[in-house]
Amino acid sequence: MKNRIIKTPPANLSRRRFVEGLIAGGALAGTGLWTTPAWATTSPSQPAVLSGTEFALDLIESPVNFTGTPRMATTVNGQVPAPLLRWREGDRITLRVTNRMPVAGSIHWHGILLPSPMDGVPGLSFKGIAPGETYVYQFDVRQSGTYWYHSHSGFQEQTGLYGPIVIEPREPAPFTYDRDYVVMLSDWTDEDPNQVFRHLKQMNDYYNYVRPTVGDLVEDAKKDGWASALSTRAAWDKMRMSPRDLSDVSGATYTFLTNGVTPAGNWTGLFKPGEKIRLRFINGSSMTYFDVRIPGLKMTVVAADGQYVHPVSIDEFRIGVAETYDVLVEPTEDRAYSVFSQALDRSGYALATLAPRIGMRAEVPKLDPVPILGMSDMGMAMGDMPGMDAKGGMQDMPGMKMGGSNDMKGMDMPGMDMSGSAKPDADMAPAAQSAGGDVPVKHHASTEYGPSNSTRADQVSTRLDDPGVGLRNNGRRVLTYADLHTVGGALDPRNPTREIELHLTGNMDRYMWSFNGVPFSEAEPILFHYGERLRIVLINDTMMHHPIHLHGMWSELESPDGNFQVRKHTISVAPGHRVSYRVSADARGNWAYHCHMLYHMEGGMFRAVVVA
Amino acid sequence: MKNLKPLAQIMLCALFPLSGAVFAQDPMSMSGHDMSTSGSDSSMKNMGAMPGMDKTVSRPAPAAQPAPPVGSLPSSDGSAGKSYAAYGIDMDTMHMEDDPLIAKLLLDKLEYVHGKRDSMVWDGRFRFGRDLNQLWIRSEGQRAKGKIQDAEAELLWGHTFSPFWTVMTGVRHDFGTGPSRDWAALGIQGLAPYKFDVEATAYLGDSGRTALKLKTSYDLLLTQRLILTPELDANLYSKDDRDRGVGAGLSDASLGLRLRYEIRREFAPYIGFNVLQKYGKTADFSRSEGTPVHDFQLVTGVRIWF
């Protein structure tokens, strides 16, 4: 995609470092028609919903204007996000995708079980769709729920080629609701994504405007004294790492969209007070973790990655790239509510409104303080930390003052409850033993010791109940994987017979990403034997979150004590953590397996899984 | 540990009707049908279907025997032992960018120097290549009274051998006042612990001359855009070179402090000062030529890259 007009980020960035966007921006805004896909505007009319069993989708470059600067987007049918596809479980559907762009394209149906040639990954599952060509995808729909689709060619996903899929189940849902809205979160940059990638290679913290400064040092010193502030700063500098390495691409260049609408544009979902609303949240962004809450409304999570979970009531959830969460809300007052989705690094937010009438706005919360990573997020064994005693006692932690006035928002140390005691708001007492804890990392592949990998974790947490950096102890009930239990249990009751252990690795300084220190092009395919039940163990040696997605097969996450936890298609692995999940290799063919952060994937954190 | 599992299951089952009562209006939801997944008839045929969706919500399937703990099963990295091509995976079509060709031209200093004499100074480096192997051109120099007084240019091959360090080999050409000199170069460049940028290069010239150049700097962020950079440079030579005005041993050193404001990442004007000191024979040569041996300089310039 040629994009000659490069917009520079606004020179005057203050604390809210993002572009608010146009009020009436979006796809086709460049043509003066000033519309976004109708399903993405207010309820209830949805002419840009495509349903049935036969679909014709055009991949086409189309002018958009989200920020006041006209740009070209890669779209489906000229819309960003792409049309909402409504399928029915059990149908055989046919999607004729015609590429009207001057470059090769593709569509991957994220989380959908289907034969390998229908999976849409050029070079792996098929040849891609050349300019002018039409590819006919056809498969039987074997599942129901909320999913999404996007390009798997180059950086087209970043420039607008993503859309929602809602699959009607054969049986009615085990809960009722009066309204049903897709809430698709995404990130838009006016820059050419090739340029974004180049910037990251030239200067890895190019978009990071939350790096620790002298000002931060002074603030830390005021809280904890100069000795501890300086020694914490020195500890990070010695490792040549930064505790503020949260997002590679931030609000410095991104505008965050809800259903393709900027915060200024205020996408609104209508309701009548007392109604129950099903919100299908999809993180269709390229690089952004969103922390989502609706001040004034409790959310009940009823599905994750399209699969029903036992309902759990929460105030806030973190949704990683490519994940989906269905929540029910029940607004009883005749007022507007803000659907507030802040980027993990607090460099901006996506904003939408639930209201009884169009044009209403609710108060928008302030952005939370910028999170700061702790040594446990680095995967360091506690004893190695200067100023800490071997037992990991709280007393001498640099930068931390336990008890008293220290606000824990500033310092995040999830592994700190070394005694294995349950965290304060654990629901179930017996969970304490099965909550997991810190385990030593016994093995690193030899390839992890080269220039492609900067750090190796010594010790990682197996806990699933950590809300994550920036959400700990914030006074809100935050969703964790430990809260999610798939209805019906594991699809395959067999235990795994072998393990594949992979480390998530990278050299942040040079923006190199890999598994086990080996980038995709230098690796070999990973082989699953058809019919086997295996376990994948992922250890995060890096300081960033990675949402790992296996195409074509479910990832059945295990709890720390080895039971089935939740079925997902995308599993987010936090820094300093280890996860394990079971896979039934029940679909032959070549399947992509990768971090869903687009620039990490392109940068080498990708593998080809062959099921043969 | 084992005793807790049934307890946890009981509690899960207990929680179930509670949530069922809140959500499910359909009387079928409370039927407690066993899910077909847990029984022995569960087979691969069920993989695609969602048994949980056929019935409405019910008890979670009882777990199979406890899974072997992580780390107890045969473990590997899953490598197929064959290339991508063996499985029909086409790297060209996949077109991943995991080692792209990247170019970066950095003019770290482009400044006007006001000291005992005034001059213009540059210091830049151009990098072209991939993650682990690159072509480098480094140059620094000084221009005064309309001509280049003292400058050098290097052409080097860099090989990144560890996460933070690159070994450089190549040639250096000194020009400006006096005869030009050529050297073979071998050095390293990278980021040292505590985030010091370091360049250390050894040179071998004709008649067995050797030289050593050391540079180190640190970026201190006062704010997100205002950055203070102290820098220390030093040159050492094994032999006098009267024609180029350098003496053996520690020849010269400079300590600089620059404050830059990043209007954009790629464009940052700065001000600062530089303390320049010549030593030994170099100082003597300097005195005889009338150039300053010790100089306190004010500098102003831009740091740009693209």
Using CA atoms, how far apart are residues A193 and A2, in angstroms rounded to an integer?
11
| Cβ neighbours of B15 in A, within 8 Å | 310
Partner-chain contact B89 A124, CB within 8 Å: yes
Nearest to B102 by CA among A286, A512, A150: A512
CA atoms within 13 A on the CB side of A120: 26
With an 8 Å Cβ cutoff, are B67 and A563 in contact?
A: yes
Other C-beta atoms within 10 Å of B36: how many? 17
Under the banding of pLDDT at 50, 70 and 90, the label for residue A21 is low
Pairs across A and B, CB distance < 8 A: 304
- Find out whether A71 and A151 touch, Cβ atoms under 8 Å: no
For residue B208, give every residue at least 6 positions away whose Cβ sits within 8 Å of its Cβ, in sequence order, or none. B238, B239
- pLDDT grade for A23, boundaries at 50, 70 and 90: low
Nearest to B77 among A140, A144, A445 (CB): A445
CA distance B172 to chain A (A): 25
Q: What is the mean pLDDT of residues B74-88?
A: 95
Within the 561-580 window of chain A, which residues sit less than 8 Å (CB to CB) from chain B? 561-564, 578, 580
Instruction: Give the pLDDT confidence score for residue B60 in this predicted structure.
Output: 47
Q: Do the Cβ atoms of B12 and A608 come within 8 Å?
A: no
Inter-helix orientation angle A226-239/A214-224, to 10°: 130
CA distances from B175 to A573, B131, B278 (A): 55, 32, 19
For chain B, percent of residues with pLDDT exceeding 90: 70
On the CB side of A304, CA atoms within 13 Å amount to 31
Q: Give every CB contact of residue A167 below 8 A, 6+ residues apart in sequence.
A: A86, A87, A88, A89, A141, A143, A144, A145, A146, A147, A306
Best mutation target, A170, A202, A569, to test chain B (most B CBs within 10 A):
A202
- Give residues with Cβ within 8 angstroms of B126, minimum separation 6: B103, B104, B105, B106, B136, B137, B138
Residue type, B111: E
Cα torsion angle, A250, A252, A258, A259, sign: negative
Interface of A with B in 460-499 (CB under 8 A): 462, 485-499
CA distances from B34 to A63, A103, A142, A455, A494 (A): 53, 51, 21, 47, 17
CB–CB of B201/B138 below 8 Å? no
Which member of A8, A169, A499 has the closest CB to residue B73? A499
pLDDT tens per residue across span B270-303: 999 999 999 999 999 999 988 899 999 999 999 9
Percent of chain A exceeding pLDDT 70 equals 84
Q: What number of other Cβ atoms are within 10 A of residue B223's Cβ?
A: 14
From the CB of residue B169, how many other CB atoms can be counted at a distance below 10 Å?
A: 13
Write the pLDDT tens digit of every residue in A357-390. 999 999 999 999 999 999 878 887 655 444 433 3
> From the candidates A14, A499, A526, A601, which should be mutated to test the interface with B, based on the most B CB atoms within 10 A?
A499
pTM value is 0.86
Residues 6+ away with beta carbon under 8 Å from A507: A451, A452, A453, A454, B163
What's the one-letter identity of residue A54?
E
Antiparallel, parallel or unpaired: β B118-129 and B133-144: antiparallel
With beta carbons less than 8 A apart as the criterion, state whether B272 and B259 touch: yes
- Tell if the CB–CB gap between B8 and A431 is shorter than 8 Å: yes
Between A85-89, B149-153, B242-246, the lowest mean confidence (pLDDT) is in: B242-246
**pLDDT tens-place string over residues A543-584:** 999 999 999 999 999 999 989 999 999 999 999 999 999 999
Q: Residue A26: pLDDT band by 50, 70, 90 thresholds? A: low
Contact B53 A170 (CB under 8 A): yes
The dihedral formed by the CA atoms of A558, A559, A562 and A567, expressed in degrees to the nearest 10 = -30
In this structure, the strands spanning A546-550 and A570-573 are antiparallel
A500 with B19: Cβ contact below 8 A? no
CA angle A538, A541, A547 (to 5 degrees): 50
| CB proximity A177 to B under 8 Å | no
Of A125, A518, A579, A124, nearest to B78 by C-alpha is A518
For the segment A106-129, the average pLDDT, to the nearest whole number, is 97
Mean of all residue pLDDT scores within chain A: 87
State the Cα–Cα distance between residues A396 and A389, nearest whole angstrom. Answer: 7
Confidence of residue B97 (pLDDT cuts 50, 70, 90): confident
Decide if pLDDT at A112 tops 70. yes
Task: Name the 3-class secondary structure at A396.
Answer: coil
Q: Is A591 on the interface with B (CB under 8 A)?
A: no
Preferred mutation among B55, B84, B92, B98 to probe A, highest tally of A CBs within 10 A: B98
Quick check: A491 and B46 CB within 8 A?
Answer: yes
Contact state of A612 with B104 under an 8 Å Cβ cutoff: no
Mean residue pLDDT of chain B comes to 84
Say what the pLDDT of residue A188 is. 98
Taking the CB of residue B86, how many other CB atoms lie within 10 A of it?
Answer: 12
Residues B212-233 have a mean pLDDT of 97
Contact B298, B114 (CB under 8 A): yes
Put simply, whether A363 touches B (Cβ < 8 Å) is: no
**A61-88 pLDDT per residue, tens:** 999 999 999 999 999 999 999 999 999 9
DSSP 8-class letter at A106: -
